[in-house]
Structure 1
């Protein structure tokens, strides 16, 4: 308990610097990204914004003068948010003693996987380096510098080769998935191999231990359930991605609440809408009810609802044991979601989306 008392007291202070849903609505109400930037300069992100602007405006910087034109406000904000995210979660690690820090690092594994998926998808789509980095969450072993180097790699194979030279264990599942990618031209095998390695490694790290290890195991099972649900629904969204047999092989069997039988039932649906409705017979019926009356169903919206569910679970863990690992889990999820929400607000403003159109894409903890 002593390991967590000091850390959790510090985390509660850090939670006080989160903006939260009311502030999101204030930002959404701003007329432009320039106005939004001005408002953020009055928030806890002011120091990060000022530091980022100073760096980018330094003599010789290729982005000198950034923030002076409307299209560049978003780039300034995104870079500042990325740096502040790294800074805050680095503080979280420093506050943690040995075992709590190990558990936090275990949870951070998922973000290395997320970032690699983002970069691989971007390479396939020939996305610009800056656009790729704007979608990453550099809070795992792959830091900002490493992700920037991977984003500059010319091909997916070059990404794999670069990670291999660093002797990162995650290079092996990426390589295995890439072999299947060459055979199917689908990124599903690549993403599954990354997920399978990530969860196997994470569960290995918490295979035995105290009540806090058990909390992390249960949370990991929820994350695996989320991944399994999305795998099934992505298959239904694009029937050419995987055959039913292949899809069944891509089930993460971690003894979660979403069982293999339920997974196979959803995969066998005739389309995405029916597959979603079949979730009504699982512990994730809330997701099915959410979209039951909507005319159209978009896969990214479903993913947002699953992220909302994960965030609620994390917050519930923090209330169940305020002197355990639950509070660090909650803060980790809150901080990452805040940065992603702020990015969404900035992009929504730049695209001219109406306030309600931006709000529906946010993941909130209220």
Structure 2
């Protein structure tokens, strides 16, 4: 069951000491980013079957992961586990090679995977998913080790899962889970994560903390805008839905979102045209649009482009590392979309629409 070595790390706040090695870490990250699959790879993969894709991935940067797991899995399952293992190993490497403030900021950012994994396990228990199905979605890139997470996945119910997390920072929220309010708990965990990120910046005048905060705030804008589109498309205008929104966005303030939430879809679009994000999505948005796939893909692509552009402006900072992390996450997401789509016999057109290239 142990696909990864134990990645348990100490509290990142206690590690925030000493000199930050930005020059060394960003140089290593540039080398790592050069190995990201080029966009022209994805059309080639679309023409392959599952086993051909597995062979291709096994000859790429994922070779070690595929080789390690090939004795346990095959086909789509092998690729799924190899992608998650590689993502965890890659991001853990960033922790190992960074020092001081840089290490601290990266560690705090990677807590998104603690939240992801806890939500995945709780959802699995709620849906009565198998341990194997839960493990397939685990990415041990945060502070919780794969060994610990895999043990949580074997628990028979959510009470046992929550009990095992009693000594973590997440327990203050998880102890209020009663088996029926999962959406509420997931939302609180997300907000806790973002609150923690902003706590890392505080009132510091550090250039990197300011850059880090800006990067996070753009991400919050994208998250809130995506949620707004989904609510609008579903015709939901309930003010209580404001609880789904995260404070701290760069361009979209909470007051802006409160004003847009009660609007009809048509009026929402008209209001949104006043914001800079409109330029990225205007040609795929219409009152009678059937799907939000294009909108969400454009927003993700915008964030990737913004990160890359920002990285060029601040080459010796936290930004190139964040840029690389987004690019790596997107690569894994694209590969997962292709393999899942192939396994589900989806049309190439539908799979291609979901890729962010």
TM-score normalised to structure 2 length: 0.84
Q: Is the 8 A contact 1:318 1:330 kept in 2?
A: yes
Is 2:45 aligned against 1:50? no
Cα deviations by residue, 1:130-184 (Å, 9 ceiling, x for unpaired): 33333343321133233323333334444322212xx1111212334x36x74xx
Secondary structure at 1:116 match in 2: helix
Distance in 1, Cα, partners of 2:297 & 2:158: 27
Which of 308, 314, 322 lines up with 1:315 in the alignment? 308
Distance 1:274 1:346, change over 3 A: farther
CA shift, 1:277, in A, is 5.7
Mapping of 1:103-118 within 5 angstroms?
103-118=105-120
Which of 10, 23, 29 lines up with 2:47 in the alignment? 29
Is 2:35 aligned against 1:17? yes
Distance 1:212 1:192, change over 3 A: same
User: Equivalent residue for 1:172?
Assistant: 172
Unaligned runs of 5+ in 1: 57-65, 68-72
CA shift, 1:117, in A, is 3.0
Query: Which stretch shows the higher mean deviation, 196-205 or 131-140?
Result: 131-140
Cα deviations by residue, 1:66-123 (Å, 9 ceiling, x for unpaired): 43xxxxx011111112222222222222111121111111211223223333333333
Distance in 2, Cα, partners of 1:239 & 1:124: 27
Distance 1:264 1:294, change over 3 A: closer
Secondary structure at 1:149 match in 2: helix
Mapping of 1:51-200 within 5 angstroms?
51-54=68-71, 56=72, 66-67=73-74, 73-164=75-166, 167-176=167-176, 178=177, 182=180, 187-200=182-195
Q: Is the 8 A contact 1:107 1:202 kept in 2?
A: yes
User: Equivalent residue for 2:224?
Assistant: 228
User: Equivalent residue for 2:8?
Assistant: none
Cα deviations by residue, 1:237-273 (Å, 9 ceiling, x for unpaired): 5578xx73322344432253111232123321345x7
Q: Is the 8 A contact 2:281 2:299 kept in 1?
A: no
Q: Is the 8 A contact 1:278 1:288 kept in 2?
A: no
Secondary structure at 2:120 match in 1: helix
Structure number with higher helix proportion: 1
Unaligned runs of 5+ in 2: 1-18
CA shift, 1:302, in A, is 4.3
Secondary structure at 1:257 match in 2: coil
Distance 1:119 1:223, change over 3 A: farther
Q: Is the 8 A contact 1:82 1:137 kept in 2?
A: yes
Q: Is the 8 A contact 2:239 2:261 kept in 1?
A: no
Distance 1:245 1:218, change over 3 A: same
User: Equivalent residue for 1:262?
Assistant: 256
Mapping of 1:200-239 within 5 angstroms?
200-207=195-202, 208-236=204-232
Aligned length: 338
Is 2:252 aligned against 1:252? no
Distance 1:225 1:160, change over 3 A: farther
Distance in 1, Cα, partners of 2:144 & 2:292: 27
User: Equivalent residue for 1:336?
Assistant: 329
Distance in 2, Cα, partners of 1:127 & 1:280: 42
Distance 1:261 1:17, change over 3 A: same
Distance in 1, Cα, partners of 2:356 & 2:44: 16
Distance in 1, Cα, partners of 2:153 & 2:298: 28
CA shift, 1:214, in A, is 0.4
Query: Which stretch shows the higher mean deviation, 316-325 or 281-290?
Result: 281-290
Q: CA RMSD in A?
A: 2.7
Distance in 2, Cα, partners of 1:175 & 1:298: 37
